[in-house]
Structure 1
Amino acid sequence: MLVNIDDANGVRTVTLNRPEALNAFNEALYDATTIALRDADADPSVGVILLTGTGRAFSAGNDLVEMQARITDPDFQSGEYGFPGLIDTLTDLRKPLLLAVNGLGVGIGATILGYGDLVFMSSTARLKCPFTSLGVAPEAASSYLLPQLIGRQNAAWILMSSEWVDAQEAKEMGLAWRVCEPDDLLPEARKYAEVLASRPIPSLMAVKHTIVEPTRGEIAAAAKREYAQFEVLLGSAANADALAAFADRKD
């Protein structure tokens, strides 16, 4: 299973389960995660959604092998939902989303934090937005969400530098709410998730709606701008060189 599901005390834990690829998102994982989040949002027994990863990574971001295939393979098949479907689902979630970042978070594995209502990070976790090192544009509406969340200068550094940010730096910036020792990460995240899940679900959803609704139009507009820039840059000389270098390292 690409995604594991566990229910307890009104909390649905969705665990990315592609550890051999550091939970990198290929089309199949995008689809499986989208379906899992939509199902949790629609299930009346679920009050809170907790997303985490298996193994030493939260998610290594987009599967770069598939990214290269998207450019070079005329028969490449996109998933039913793909990346856009996941972003639309994250934007439209009505229930609280908690993230437990258990390890490396790269690309969408970092920008997804912008959609978290509460973010917990392992003390050994690190984040990177490698867009400039790949010669592409930001994604997941991060060009809007990160400045809103952590300020323009912190967002500019993360999005422009392609450098690592450790858990403590993420907390100081406001990307993470709690930093936990690795063995304490899931118990701590579940403890807080269960507190929220003990509250009336319609009230939880009302609070989230009033917080998120004013930003949904801005998120959609940012995503549209990013898609346009990504389309221009995908397959450019810088992007092709970066993907070729990655492929060489894999061989």
Structure 2
Amino acid sequence: MNYDNIIFNAADDGIATITFNRPQQYNSFSEKTCSEFINCLSDIDRNQDIKVMIITGSGNAFSAGGDVNWLLTADTTWKKNMILEAAVKIIETLNNIKKPVICAVNGVAAGAGVAVLMASDIVIASTEAKFAPNFIKLGLVPDTGSSYYLVRSVGARKALELFWTGKELSADEAMALGIFNYVVPGDQLMTEANKFARRLIKHNYQSNLMIKELVRTSITNDLSSQCRLENYCQILAWSSQEFIDAMSAFTGKHQKGLESK
């Protein structure tokens, strides 16, 4: 798959990497970038050889959100809505992917970039990363699902504070709030992201897929529905070769421990 505004790489180990590649524009989303990103996400979701996806940016930014030049072309309500719907399509496509999605945040994330990282499953950030939900500084309101994700991540009161002030958080501040999972030196960012991805593939991958589904559905399910879904997934896991192999390894170690006493 060849693109102009993103770089796609699929390794033999089942890990695919999408890199936003408009460094001079701080990897902002143009109309073409949105289209390419959506198409790439859809292709990855359909490709059975790809097990885990990593999203990152080139240069000094992860993504600054919408391309200003594109936004300025929106001189009618219809054009404004078309731009917003393109962003919504990105986040809906990303949210519906069943495979693990790791976001490797290499620099500032603002606007729609904030939404992309929050829609990801695991966020690993470099020490240079910034989390900037600064819509208010442009006289705008959160979009692309930013309010949906941030409230669920930090709670309503903290989300209001961040959106009202437009405060830019450092990597450590974002990690303290649970927005980032890990913060690592910049030169180790992709190494750590790939290491986490390989762990998901190597250790009980099918169970990891079901865990993602359980966590996502828990947001809207009632207790009874969630318990039934857990039971369904547990029966599948219980019947899997992964479980048989894991139990064999566990009982083997336990038996050796007893014999050594």
Tell me the TM-score normalized by structure 1. 0.79
Q: Secondary structure at the match of 1:132?
A: helix
1:2 matched to which residue of 2?
Answer: 5
Letter in 1 for 2:17: T
Q: Which of 117, 122, 125 does residue 118 from structure 1 map onto?
A: 122
CA contact (8 A) 1:58 1:102 kept: yes
Give the whole-Å Cα distance in 2 for the aligned partners of 1:95 and 1:200: 13
CA contact (8 A) 2:153 2:178 kept: yes
Give the whole-Å Cα distance in 2 for the aligned partners of 1:148 and 1:162: 18
Q: Extract unaligned runs of 5+ from structure 1.
A: 218-251
Structure 1 position 209, deviation (Å): 1.4
Letter in 2 for 1:39: D
1:157 has 2:161 as partner: yes
Give the whole-Å Cα distance in 1 for the aligned partners of 2:100 and 2:78: 39
Letter in 2 for 1:150: V
Give the whole-Å Cα distance in 2 for the aligned partners of 1:139 and 1:76: 12
1:175 has 2:179 as partner: yes
Distance 1:126-1:111 versus aligned 2 partners, 3 A rule: same
Give the whole-Å Cα distance in 1 for the aligned partners of 2:86 and 2:103: 20
Q: Which moved more, 1:145-154 or 1:4-13?
A: 145-154
Q: Which of 7, 16, 19 does residue 23 from structure 2 map onto?
A: 19
Q: Which of 49, 62, 71 does residue 53 from structure 2 map onto?
A: 49
CA contact (8 A) 1:131 1:138 kept: yes
| Equivalent residue runs for 1:1-251 within 5 Å | 1-8=4-11, 9-71=13-75, 82-199=86-203, 201-215=205-219
Give the whole-Å Cα distance in 2 for the aligned partners of 1:141 and 1:74: 20
Instruction: Give me the CA root mean square deviation.
Output: 2.2
Give the whole-Å Cα distance in 2 for the aligned partners of 1:178 and 1:35: 29
Structure 1 position 214, deviation (Å): 4.2
Letter in 2 for 1:111: A
Structure 1 position 73, deviation (Å): 10
Q: Secondary structure at the match of 2:138?
A: coil
CA deviations on 1:131-160 (whole Å, 9 max, x unpaired) are 111222211222222121122233222212
Give the whole-Å Cα distance in 1 for the aligned partners of 2:98 and 2:38: 14
Q: Secondary structure at the match of 2:109?
A: strand
Q: Which moved more, 1:191-200 or 1:24-33?
A: 191-200
Q: Secondary structure at the match of 1:25?
A: coil
CA contact (8 A) 1:27 1:78 kept: no
* Count of residue pairs the alignment pairs up: 216
Structure 1 position 202, deviation (Å): 3.8
Larger Rg: 2
Letter in 2 for 1:86: I
Q: Secondary structure at the match of 2:53?
A: strand
Q: Secondary structure at the match of 2:194?
A: helix
Distance 1:216-1:60 versus aligned 2 partners, 3 A rule: farther
Give the whole-Å Cα distance in 1 for the aligned partners of 2:106 and 2:29: 16
CA deviations on 1:50-101 (whole Å, 9 max, x unpaired) are 000011100011112211211269889958x721210110121111110000
CA contact (8 A) 1:27 1:83 kept: no
2:239 matched to which residue of 1?
Answer: none
Give the whole-Å Cα distance in 2 for the aligned partners of 1:184 and 1:120: 10
Letter in 1 for 2:169: V
CA contact (8 A) 1:95 1:205 kept: yes
Percent same amino acid among aligned pairs?
Answer: 30
